[in-house]
Chain A
Amino acid sequence: MMRRPPNGAAALPYLLILPTLFFVVVFTLWPLIRVIYDSLFVENQAVQVPQFAGLENFLALFMSSAFRDVLYNTLIYVVITVPASTLFALSLALMLNREFKTRGLFRLAFFYPSMLPMVSAATIFLFMYTPGYGLINVFLSFFGVADQNWLGTPSLALPALMILGIWKQTGFYMIFFLAGLQGLPHDIFESARLDGASTLQSIRYITMPLLMGTTLFVTTIAVVNAFETVDQVYIMTSGGPVNSTSMLLFNMYETLFNYLDIGKASAMSVILIAMLLIFTTINFINTERNATYE
């Protein structure tokens, strides 16, 4: 029996999505259009009325060696911390997926940093890296390494931030791998073992391909996280020493609030969004190519 929908029923789905759509339009779509538009204008303290400038902001950024440092720092940070924390998280998950008594404690030890706000974790590591009595220097002195001013040395500051990033995020990614591992069919491993496959072979040829979905998910979050690195830069180094830890988002923040340059800050937003889209797409294609689906 077909009934005509009562009056107003046709409008119902639109009313249901209206609140979400409203906030997405106001705080994502409109700003997205606006940031692209603004990036084409010169607007700063010297030029109060926006003037159309085409790609001048982008050209100026790419010509500036300071901004090239920023791009380089961001890319290096992404390219090193994403694979490092993903691989590390996967290894931990493989080890902690076995049954043993203290497993819960181990999971806790690796997971708790992801419960801390990055601002607090950065404050703790600011302390860990203190020259003289900072625990990292004290620990390294047992191996005869001389005292280092980690955050005050250009060649060491970025690696120091990377270590914090890996410490903070690995446990979070580990949880997703653990979830993925629990979803794997048990009998495949059993028959592989009966066929004489070693543990490493099982991991390489069975576990890894089946975990591609999880890996894609984890690396995507990791890439976004790494590109958005800003809290620890603000707390620990303010981009220094000599620009060695300045990354895109921090640089955008500085450009907007310290230099009041809306045109350049908008151009940086566009670059950040473009790089994220490129990286997540490459990551997606790459993972799809290696994936095996049941």
Chain B
Amino acid sequence: MNKRRFSLKFRLSTLWLFALGVLALGWTVPILWTLAVSIHSPDEPLSVANLWWGSHPTFSNYSQAFDIAPFAQYYLNTVLITLGILVVQLITICLAGYAFARFKFRGQNILFFLIMLQMMVPSSALIVPNYATIHALGVFDTLFAVMLPSFGSAFGTFLMRQTFKQIPRELDDAAKMDGANWLQTLWNVYIPPARPALIAFALSSISFHWNDFLWPLIVTNSPASRPLTVGLAVLTQLGEIGAQWPLVTAGTLIVVGPLLVIFLIFQRQFIDSFLHSGLK
């Protein structure tokens, strides 16, 4: 009896692991195939019989993709946009979070509610009027146009308010007693213990803005301000390139490769940070 239960349990868990393995393999195949086809020689047509890297693998697709599209410029743009947004956000959310966590002032609740509205109304639903605003401000087709709407963050403000509230008020009072002004107090008392929350916020902000597409698509119009996502879309939508899969997959990997490599190296910290920021 005991033995039978044991073997049944063993068989179940092997079966379960096998099913999970097949599923995981299926999940990974798209990126593996992309990788294989990106070194498939462009002179050899793809077919059911010749699906992977072919008989003469080559890196020429990568150099050709770099020739057709200014990926280095796109990279620089994406990095500048993502970091520019992040730096401004970190400042605005810490200041506002501090105000809402530790000050009592008239209109506090209504102001908090107004800011929190940003979490309820997705920015993509407001592209029509925001596009008009960008034109009115005269910043169309600049990196600034891509960044502007994201400088204030309701989510970040909320997160910092919750985080700062957990810090004992006595520490704040002690710092004030020692003659620290509000900025010194914020910097020395509130920011250090809030680091995990700030890192979690930074990760979600970076991954959102690195991947954003629709907004940069409509407010940029030249390689000088286009981020990677829009650059890749421009490349794949070029009619004559459309079906040249080795070239398109190489372009795709140029876009996702560095991010994936960084993720593979830091995946433990990355997933842990997501796990810990989760809901708290």
Chain A residues proximal to chain B, CB less than 8 Å: 10, 12-14, 16-17, 19-32, 34-35, 38, 95, 100, 104-113, 115-120, 123-128, 130, 132-133, 135, 138, 167, 171, 175-176, 178-180, 182-183, 213-214, 217, 224, 227-228, 230-231, 234-235, 249, 252-253, 256-257, 262, 265-266, 269, 272-273, 276-277, 280
- Assembled-state Cα–Cα distance A278/B25 (Å): 38
Chain B residues proximal to chain A, CB less than 8 Å: 16-17, 20, 24-25, 27-31, 33-34, 37, 46-48, 51, 91-93, 95-96, 98-100, 103, 105, 108, 111, 114-115, 117-118, 120-133, 148-149, 151-154, 157, 182, 207, 210-211, 213-214, 217-218, 228-230, 232-233, 236-237, 245, 248-249, 251-252, 255-256, 259-260, 263-264, 267-268, 271, 274-276, 278-279
CB–CB B48/A133 < 8 A: yes
Pair count A-B, CB < 8 A = 247
Contact partner, A119, options B114, B118, B229, B267, Cβ 8 Å: B229
Contact A127 to B96, CB < 8 A, known contacts A34-B129, A106-B20:
no
Which B residues touch A176, using CB under 8 A?
274, 278-279
Is chain B's interface secondary structure helix, strand, loop, or mixed overall? helix
* 19 other A-B residue contacts (CB within 8 Å) besides A34-B132, A35-B125, A269-B125: A17-B99, A20-B92, A20-B95, A20-B115, A20-B153, A21-B96, A21-B114, A23-B152, A24-B118, A28-B123, A108-B264, A117-B213, A118-B211, A119-B211, A135-B30, A175-B275, A179-B276, A231-B229, A235-B233
CB–CB B128/A256 < 8 A: yes
- Chain A CB within 10 A, most for which of B103, B128, B236: B128
Which A residues touch B236, using CB under 8 A?
123, 126, 235
- Assembled-state Cα–Cα distance A165/B62 (Å): 28
Identify the closest chain A residue to B95 (Cβ).
A16
Which A residues touch B127, using CB under 8 A?
252-253, 256, 269
Contact partner, A265, options B30, B105, B128, Cβ 8 Å: B128
Identify the closest chain B residue to A213 (Cβ).
B279
Nearest CB on B from A271, distance (A): 9
CB–CB B125/A272 < 8 A: yes
- Chain B CB within 10 A, most for which of A24, A214, A262: A24
- Chain B CB within 10 A, most for which of A16, A26, A104, A266: A16
Which A residues touch B51, using CB under 8 A?
133, 135, 138
Contact A117 to B229, CB < 8 A, known contacts A19-B152, A124-B252, A269-B125:
yes
